[in-house]
Amino acid sequence: MCGQQARQRKSAPPLVGRHTLKNEEEKPVKTAFPYRWVICACGLVTIFISIGLVSNVFSIYLPYIVQQNGFANTQTGLLTTMRTVAALLSMLGADGYYRRLGLRRGLALPFLATVAAYLLYSNTHTPMLYYGAAVLTGIGYGLGGVFPVALLIRAWFPKKTAMAMSAAATGSGIASLLGPMTVTRWVNAYGLSGSFFREALLILALAGLVLLLVRDGPQASALQAPEVQTQAHPEPVSRAGGLPRPAQGLMVGVCALIGTLGITAFATLPLLYTTAGMPMETAAACLSPLGLFLMGGQLLYGWLADHAGHRAAARNASAAMAAGLALCCLANRAGPGLMLAALVLLGGGMALSTVAFSVFAADFSAPGQYAAVLKRYQIAYSVGGLLSGAVPGLLADVTGSYVPVFAGFLLLSGVIGISLAGVYRRYGRPADWK
């Protein structure tokens, strides 16, 4: 009995000003648990910066860049391409990078790269320097996005991680809600360079706060296998042997298809409705609450995953995605009500492109391989979006409408849903069959 108490005292985190307690086992829970939500908030801010501002909000700048700097459309489009390629290259070494530096120190580089990029944007008007800044934002996106946040959440929430991850992922939705109006106001008041400079200061302040508060984990490294982090949670989080190679290849393909929908289809939504005859002002008004729909979908996915099982969450999100894309195929006859219904459903389905990857990696990775599998899924997602980027425009030029494009997206969503159902049915854990 004495030996057991000694081991418990040795494994407990150090406490400041600790006094003798009758029940010393409860003290670590009372002190450690609230800080998990500080870590979750740090993850939210990280995604707000690295995905929300760098990717979602930056598109608001593109018309101003064309207008004030005189860039051609091709030159402006290359900014997104350069950022995407740099992000992909950064992701290739993300697991080794964070294994060597740890999460807290490792986050400093993507934050500094993002701040430097916006300072460079604010002090140049030439395409080449803009491309250099785009590469820096790609580093910030690739090393500072979902990957390190998923590792943080996994370290601090050994069980039922999906809800915490979904809460952190809402950072991108918050940026989509607040960013456009803020950028427009800043550009009108301070000019393009002034807006970029203020955004650099905002990122610097938020990143400094994250680096001040974040910790790698309560007991162990985030890159360790979850089964050795703590004995207080004996339920395994990963499959004992991972997926067989064909099934793992299928999951990589599914993630690439999710990238096609989450990146390409999402970006094509405004064109679908405006080219179908909806006034631009009406379409913009319908799209304005999309960030709220995305946040609601992410939180719902996390709640379902933790309470109804991972398979149920994936099934419901796939069904919502398919239903939303089916309504998009009615764009030629759609009014604002039908468009809003489609966006609500798509908000639920788009959780597959954020929260779901960390859940998939936990379900289908062997012990000690979580980070590598998560990186593989993230890269597949980005590659899918990159390779499909030009397809909607080409098909629309041939067919004269974006509706056939979304019919193709609907077909892909069916492939995603059927594939996920098959993998979970054959290889999912019993806990996922709730």
Statement to judge: residues 135 and 196 lie in one domain? yes
Query: Which of 420, 375, 146, 150 minimizes the C-alpha distance to 258?
Result: 420
| Tens of pLDDT, residue by residue, the chain (434 residues) | 445 444 444 444 443 333 433 333 334 434 445 788 899 999 999 999 999 999 888 888 888 888 888 887 778 778 888 898 999 999 999 989 999 999 999 999 999 999 999 999 999 889 999 999 999 999 999 999 899 999 999 889 887 788 999 999 999 889 988 888 899 899 999 999 999 999 999 999 999 999 999 998 786 444 443 433 433 333 334 454 578 889 999 999 999 999 999 888 888 888 888 888 888 788 878 888 888 999 999 999 999 998 889 999 999 999 999 999 999 999 988 788 999 999 999 999 999 988 899 999 989 988 888 989 999 999 999 999 888 888 888 888 888 889 999 999 999 999 999 999 999 998 876 555 44
Q: Which long-range contacts (CB under 8 A, 24 or more apart) does 279-288 make?
A: 282/336, 283/339, 285/336, 286/336, 286/339, 286/340, 286/343, 287/343
Q: What is the pLDDT of residue 240?
A: 45
The closest of 378, 360, 355 to 298, measured between CA atoms, is 355
**Domain encompassing residue 164:** 34-222
Same domain flag for 344 and 261 = yes
Which one-letter amino acid corresponds to residue 404? P
Same domain (yes/no): 68, 206: yes
Q: Is residue 284 part of a domain?
A: yes
Half-sphere exposure of 150 (CA within 13 A, CB side): 25
Verify that 52 and 191 share a domain, yes or no. Answer: yes
Q: Are 130 and 72 in contact (CB under 8 A)?
A: no
280 and 340 together in one domain: yes
Q: Do 273 and 142 belong together in one domain?
A: no
CB contact burial 229-265 (16+ within 10 A = b; e otherwise):
beeeeeeebbbeebbeeebbebbbebbbbbbbbbbbb
**Cα–Cα distance between 359 and 314 in angstroms, integer?**
9
Task: Enumerate the H helices of 308-369 as residue ranges.
Answer: 310-328, 336-349, 355-363
Same domain, residue pair 67 and 128: yes
Residue 430 is predicted with a pLDDT of 58
Q: Are residues 162 and 298 in the same domain?
A: no
- Is 256 part of a structural domain of the chain? yes
Q: Which two tokens stand for residue 164?
A: 């915490």
Of 222, 256, 286, the residue at which a domain comes to its end is 222
Phi, psi of 259 (to 5 degrees): -65, -35
Give domain status of residue 233, yes or no: no
Identify whether the C-beta of residue 147 lies closer than 8 Å to the C-beta of residue 94. Answer: yes
Asked whether residue 80 falls in the same domain as residue 214, the answer is: yes
Q: Exposed (0-12), middle (13-18) or buried (19+): which is 221, by Cβ within 10 Å?
A: middle
pTM of the model: 0.80
Residues 52 and 181 in one domain: yes
- The answer to whether residues 384 and 307 touch, using CB atoms and an 8 Å cutoff, is no
The SS3 call for residue 145 is coil
Whether the CB-CB separation of 431 and 308 falls below 8 Å is answered with: no
Contacts of 35 (CB under 8 A, 6+ apart): 156, 215, 218
> Residue 61's domain is classified under what CATH number?
1.20.1250.20
Total tally of structural domains belonging to the chain: 2
222, 256, 277: which is the final residue of a domain? 222
Length of the chain: 434
